Structure 1
Amino acid sequence: MWFLGSYFILTNLGVPVQQAWPDALAFTGVFLVILFILELVFGFYIPQGKNTWLLVVIPVLLSFIAVFAHKLIMKWVFGDQLDYLNVLDTGFYLRWAILAVPAVLIAIIALVVSKLEQQGESQKREAAISELAREAELMQIRQQLQPHFLFNSLNSISALVVAKPQKAREMVLQLSDFLRGTIRKDHQEWVVLEEELNYLRMYLDIERVRFGHRLQVKINVTEEVKSVRLPQLLIQPLLENAIKHGLYGLTGEVEIKLEAFTETNYVYIKVQNPFDPESAVSSGAGFGLNSVKRRLELLFGRTDLLSSVAKEGEFLVTLKIPQIK
């Protein structure tokens, strides 16, 4: 296009064909050389701040050198053609302007492209840092869950050692089985509900050693729901919270209900327990619910997946888990 445009202009100015096409070819050659040099210069250095004037000066200077070199070459080739030499002299500044304008535009485009690339790289770095921070916080929450449960269990074992040593030994063995299974699968973020229920039953066996016949848990889960997937150890803090709310401040047997079902693209898990409104233990969400809520926020970027309500001596926690296709 540059060659055809130059050739068309020269022929319209009356330059003979035998001189117009070599001139247009040479002018196209110096234009390509300028493009190559500008690519090299601005590929290694992009003027910033106060040095942005170089975006104009460098292309203009290169254009002048290129037009001057073109003029010398064409005078050497057609040194005896006075009419053509006159066209070269009179059209020098016009050629310079024609060459300088696209060269400056190319330099500006190079700056814009560089800025966009830097912005893209910056966004990628920020996204990577954000993802690393998210994963680190998720790992920290998962690591906090077991020590929190472990400390409670160890305190219970300590209380049973003297009064009921056989119960203490039983609880140690059950705790060992529970931790062996959960720690081995710590790298898994998602598990099927059936597998999660198996660990919940192990956890409840440990808690029954502490509370005996007082702790009654009713699990209502249909067969088709058992195959759905959910983040590992997401329900255990809810059960622990229910036991804390239900068995402290109340006497006699306490029934905790766990229900799981699917609806549209969600798995609903409801945990219900009685509680004493006058008990200080029942106030506040505590570590369990807060950890689950934060974990859901990190996994799904939503804060509406966990809700709780206390009404007429019953505390109900509802968990919604989106099913990823």
Structure 2
Amino acid sequence: MTREQLIDTIGKNGRRLSMKAADLTGFDFSGLDLTQADFRFADLRRANFRGAILRQADLSYANLTGANLTDADLYEANLNFCGLSDTNLTGANMEGAKVNFSVGQSQPYSTAKLPAEPITLTTILQKPGWGLLIGALLGALLIYGCNAIVYFTNLIVTAKDPALVGLYRFLVVQNMSDGVVMFLLVWALSIRLARTVAKPWKRHLIVTVVVLISFFVVNTGVYYLIGKPSIDELKKRPQGIDDTAPWFFYVIGDLLVANFFLYILQQGRQMTRKLTEQEFQLLNLEKLKTRAELDALQAKINPHFLYNALNSIASLVHDDPEKAEEMTLLLSKLFRYSTGRDGDLFSSLTDELEMVRTYLQVEQVRFGNRLTFTVDISNPALNALRLPQFLLQPIVENAIKHGIAKRAESGRIDVRIYEKNDYLHLCVHDNGPAFPDDMGGGYGLRSIQDKLHLLYGDDADVEFQNFPLKQVLISIRLARINTMSTVTASPTPPTPTPL
């Protein structure tokens, strides 16, 4: 596409340009109005956007390496997950622009036009030194807690005084119960609050109140169940019990940990949702790509077959008009099959075999007694399976062209469909000359191999065998057939995960 064609397209579409996954390396967009344009997954390396208007444009997942965005208007543009290495953003208006998880260091842009970065744990950890400091603090607290557990466990094991053993056991059970209940409450509340409370500060306030109540309930319960007898016994002694810190010192720790845990849960769900949306977009793009490639293969098969069939009819028009008429009717039946699919790339095995029978009948008109054939399916239940269209016809055509046509005497083609070891096997046998050692096949056979690779990957295979019989054997894992026959359908968008 040239710049002039692009300008014309923008005019027709009212500026809502869609260039998803396009290769636009080095393209000149300078000065153009690209408001709300869609450049997702596009290759925009070294593209020139100098002075372009990209307000609310979607550039997520695009490769902007080396692109020139000098003085571009990127108001509320989506630059998430972009490649921004060596991107020039000097003077660009970045107000409201999203640049989360973008990769690479871009050249500076006008900070006066950039909104204040929100203060989140992610942004704090990304700042030099802060991540190390917070990690060190968390590590220190974790080690302190582990050492406290070891210390009190040792006291329980080594203490000789039953009252002291009871006190230490009470302290351990009290703290562990408090921690377990607090984490379970926050986890359950985080799910509930994500659906019912929009404001994050309200969620934290509710969690604070609930954890405060649970602190008193749990500690009071454990005290009366385990700790009271030992504590009462120690209070009767002359030395009593050493004074401890006020209760609110302990509850502060619970509240801090609870709110931090709530924040981590919310951030985790948000990240999961973003990744799920990204995977969905990539899946949708991959399916569109697969559909386009299959369409291209299909479009080449039909003219290839038509050319051969019309040549056969032309050779019969003068010599045997009745056979030419019969062949023409059979050919029309074939093309009703190939053109009446409404864009569906798949058909039932029943339809595919009927198409093969019709094709062989067409060729039988031409070859007469020189060609006999059989089409056999071992299990009628297999007829309902949906397979790519024109999967068998090119193989049968190849058998006639390179096998039957080269025989002076009677030729035979056998098409067999059977199930074995969780695979569907489609076998085409002919009694013509053996396959050469360097068998590559023409376009028809290559298209079959390409189709199977696109749809089934390693779960499908094509073999050219000369022993014990000369045959082409297609094997497809049955479990993949039903799942891949929906390749033309759009994937269902993921259900948003509450934050």
Category of TM-score, reference length = shorter chain: 0.5 to 0.7
Distance 1:308 1:200 in 2: 19
Residue correspondence of structure 1 range 10-29 to structure 2 within 5 A: none
Residue deviations 1:167-212 (CA, integer Å, cap 9, x gap): 333322211121113321352624143x332222111111112222
More helix by share: 1
Q: Provide the residue aligned with 1:241 in structure 2.
A: 398
- In the alignment, the residues of structure 2 paired with residue 260 and residue 278 of structure 1 have an alpha-carbon distance, to the nearest angstrom, of 21
2:474 maps to 319
Counterpart for residue 275 of structure 1? 432
The equivalent of 1:204 in structure 2 is 360
Correspondence for 1:291 among 447, 460, 465: 447
Deviation at 1:256, TM superposition (A): 1.1
2 CA distance for matches of 1:52 and 1:202? 72
What TM-score do the two structures reach when normalised by structure 1?
0.60
SS in 1 for 2:118: helix
SS of match in other structure, 1:233: coil
Q: Show the counterpart of 2:113.
A: none
* Cα contact 2:460–2:474 (8 A) shared by 1: no
Distance 1:150 1:120 in 2: 45
Alignment partner of 1:220 out of 376, 382, 395: 376
Report if the CA contact (8 A) 1:222-1:260 is conserved: yes
How many residue pairs get aligned? The number is 251
What letter matches 1:206 in structure 2? V
Greater Rg, structure 1 or structure 2? 1
Query: C-alpha distance in 2, partners of 1:279/1:211?
Result: 24
Residues of 2 paired with 1:212 and 1:203: CA distance?
Answer: 14
Q: 1:122 aligns with which of 254, 262, 278?
A: 278
- Pairing partner for 2:329 from 170, 173, 178: 173
Q: Structure 2 counterpart of 1:317, which letter?
A: V
1:254 aligned residue: 411
Letter in 2 for 1:320: S
* Secondary structure of residue in 2 paired with 1:268: strand
The answer as to whether partners of 2:403 and 2:433 remain within 8 angstroms in 1 is yes
User: 1:265–1:229: structure 2 CA closer, same or farther, 3 Å change rule?
Assistant: same
Residue 42 of structure 1, CA deviation: 5.4
1 CA distance for matches of 2:425 and 2:355? 19
CA distance in 2, matches of 1:323, 1:222: 15
SS in 2 for 1:216: strand
Q: How far 1:136 sits from its partner (Å)? A: 1.9
Q: Distance in 2 between matches of 1:184 and 1:161?
A: 27
Aligned counterpart, 1:307: 463
3-state SS in 2 of match to 1:271: strand
- TM-score scaled by length of structure 2: 0.41
Structure 1 pair 225/316, CA: closer, same or farther in 2 (3 Å)? farther
Tell which has more relative contact order, 1 or 2 (C-alpha 8 A, sep 6+).
1
Higher strand share: 1
Sort the Cα spacing of 1:221 and 1:106 in 2 relative to 1 into closer, same or farther, 3 A.
Answer: closer
Preserved contact between residue 435 and residue 465 of structure 2 (Cα < 8 Å): no
TM-superposed CA distance for 1:286, in Å, is 2.1
Q: CA RMSD in A?
A: 4.3
Counterpart code for 1:147 = P
Deviations 1:10-63 (A, max 9, x none): xxxxxxxxxxxxxxxxxxxxxxxxxxxxxx9359xx85998778999xxxxxxx
The answer to whether the 8 Å contact 1:269/1:320 transfers is yes
Cα deviation for residue 133 of structure 1 reads 0.8
Give me the whole-angstrom Cα distance separating, in 2, the residues matched to 1:306 and 1:207. 24
